[in-house]
Amino acid sequence: MSRPTTLLPSAGKPRPKPPNAGKGRVKGVPNRVTVEFRETVQRLLDDNRENVAKWIAQIAEGAPEVKVRGKVIHAARPPDPSGALLRLSMLADYAAPKLSRTEQVGEGGGPLTIVIRKET
């Protein structure tokens, strides 16, 4: 058998808003941590510009087998130009913001009409 429920005195009343409600980040302003992360990656890329270029070239051109005292410490890697391009594009995501895709349409979603006027 179930017991009847009793409502608390505040039930049904709207709760008051916290004192700092609505004082958050303004829309469109990036998160501070995100900005700091992007700046850190950008600084890392700037400081290692020559190394990054060398690493990308090594991926694209491949690398020979490396032996020390007859023991292979690094296996040979075949050339991988597409892998180098992929890694370069991955780094670019952190160095430059991604652009959103937009579509321009005319009235009612139809074709876009462009009028060029020559002023005389």
Classify residue 108 by burial, with Cβ atoms within 10 Å: 0-12, 13-18, 19+.
Answer: exposed
The pLDDT assigned to 23 comes to 77
DSSP 17-34: PPTTTT-SPPTTPPPHHH
Q: Mean per-residue pLDDT for 73-100?
A: 85
The pLDDT assigned to 82 comes to 95
Per residue in 31-74, pLDDT (tens digit) is 888 888 888 888 888 899 899 899 999 999 998 888 999 898 88
Using alpha carbons, select from 55, 77, 58 the residue that is nearest to residue 66: 77
Q: Provide, rounded to the nearest whole percent, the portion of the chain with pLDDT above 90.
A: 19
The pLDDT assigned to 10 comes to 62
| Single pTM value for the model | 0.48
